[in-house]
Amino acid sequence: MSFSQLGLSSSLCAAAQAAGFAAPTPVQQDAVIAVLQGRDVLVRAQTGSGKTAAFGLPLLEQALQRALPQEAARRTPRRVQALVLVPTRELAVQVGDVLRGLAAGLSPVPKISVVFGGVSINPQMMGLRGGTDIVVATPGRLLDLVEHNALHLGDVRTLVLDEADRLLDQGFGEELARVNALLPAQRQSLFFSATFGPQVSALAHNLLRDPVRVEVQDAPDTRPDIAQSAIAVDTRARTQLLRHLIQHYGWSRTLVFVATKYAAEIVADKLRKAGLDAEPLHGQLSQGKRSQVLDDFKASRISVVVATDLAARGIDVVELPVVVNYDLPRSADDYTHRIGRTGRAGQAGLAVSFVTAETEAHWRLIAKRQGLDLVLEAVEGFEPTEVAASPHALVDHSGTGGVKGKRPSKKDKLRAAAAKSGA
């Protein structure tokens, strides 16, 4: 199938070709057609499958149609036609870049504004003057801009939630409800993610009107090519093992996930002291530093980034061969997003997870939910010697707040109460 068969204008088909897209990916084939028909969509497609262009191309097509003379009059101050919400600032920048890249050759060029927190609000307010076609935003800053009267959401015709399950979960719940209250009831809504837990799915369905469901998942020909392995290692030997693997296998670029900001700093520092050009990436860094680290990583100026889950969603580093779970993720869904930073756009990738005695039970849970049947490997010279404090260790000492999905049973609680009372 070609882009022109999806109902896109010739200038947009040319823009896709110029971006290096020879043909639409499976998710683009299904989603573009449904969006152009005006339908709400719920898209579950694996990481790296071309989701950004799957909503970006039809959004730009809609912007072109609305630029026709009879529609152009509608672009009035502070109005916005399409709103793309994303959970992180980094993703806002990336999505904005993709949309602007595709829009560059169009006539007229749709106006795309990218707004996110951590940087001065004034240039963003100036940028929104005179209205805009598409706003890409993180929820908090979007609401700030509405409060500053720089933006009016009452005319939004299309809402996109990228990484929708993350935006719909508790962390963003209140902000999203406030945004929702500002949007017109009559609108098109497009939800995209690689994962949708059952609760989020139910919530999504409440917000969508008779959606077209697009599921591009798990088909052998569309599954990302990511080799996965799990290595048993002692907690304290993980940094040395990481260094050994990077050097032994000559990994050109490695994204390492840890559980806390503190760990990101410590591990990156140790790697730097060992001669590797590693940088931490987490939410406590200034926005300038965060952007710089990601830019340097994408441009191969640094070869190792040690990140919190801030970098787990949507971030697209072309030719990122390896992702390492130095600390295990909290949930199987988070695992999907983390390892999905590699094996993108048809390339092969490798995901390595470090499993310690304390996290082995948690690993088994993730592996089970992922349908993984991996033998825990050991690397020569790093064979584990630690044993778990409790053979059924369900408490995760990585600082991530415990094992998601495992709560103490009634019996566990009774036992704990008995122990406490000295019985």
Q: Binding to ligand AMP by residue 224, rule CB under 6 A? A: no
Q: Binding to ligand AMP by residue 24, rule CB under 6 A? A: yes
Binding mask 2-21 for ligand AMP (x = CB under 6 A): -------------------x
Produce one character per residue of 176-207: b if its CB has 16 or more CB atoms within 10 Å, e if not: beebeeebeeebbbbbbbbbbeeebbebbbeb
The C-alpha atoms of residue 300 and residue 310 are separated, in whole angstroms, by: 20
CB of residue 57 to ligand AMP, shortest distance in Å = 9
For residues 19 and 119, which CB has a smaller minimum distance to ligand AMP in the complex?
19
Cβ count within 10 A of residue 346? 12
Q: Residue from 309, 316, 333, 360 that binds ligand AMP (CB under 6 A)?
A: 316
Q: Residue from 89, 141, 166, 344 that binds ligand AMP (CB under 6 A)?
A: 344
Q: Binding to ligand AMP by residue 53, rule CB under 6 A? A: yes
Q: What is the CA radius of gyration of the chain?
A: 23
DSSP 262-287: HHHHHHHHHHHHTT--EEEE-TTS-H
Q: Binding to ligand AMP by residue 40, rule CB under 6 A? A: no
Q: Binding to ligand AMP by residue 195, rule CB under 6 A? A: no
Q: Residue from 14, 266, 345, 374 that binds ligand AMP (CB under 6 A)?
A: 345
Q: How many residues bind ligand AMP (CB under 6 A)?
A: 14
Q: Residue from 15, 31, 33, 52 that binds ligand AMP (CB under 6 A)?
A: 52
The C-alpha atoms of residue 37 and residue 258 are separated, in whole angstroms, by: 43
DSSP 174-226: HHHHHHHHHS-SS-EEEEEES---HHHHHHHHHHSSSPEEEEE-S-TTTS-EE
Contact window for ligand AMP (CB under 6 A) among 50-58, 167-175, 280-288, 403-411: 50-58
DSSP for residue 5:
G
Q: Residue from 181, 299, 318, 423 that binds ligand AMP (CB under 6 A)?
A: 318
Q: Is residue 122 helix, strand or coil?
A: helix
**Distance from the Cα of residue 223 to its chain's centroid:** 17
221 contact partners, CB below 8 Å, separation of at least 6: none
Q: Which two tokens stand for residue 324?
A: 């390492």
Contact window for ligand AMP (CB under 6 A) among 48-56, 229-237, 352-360, 393-401: 48-56
For residues 274 and 345, which CB has a smaller minimum distance to ligand AMP in the complex?
345
Q: Binding to ligand AMP by residue 196, rule CB under 6 A? A: no
CB of residue 6 to ligand AMP, shortest distance in Å = 11
For residues 89 and 362, which CB has a smaller minimum distance to ligand AMP in the complex?
89
Straight-line distance from the first to the last Cα atom of the chain, in angstroms, rounded to the nearest whole number: 71
Binding residues for ligand AMP, rule: CB under 6 A, are 21, 24-25, 28, 48-53, 316, 318, 344-345
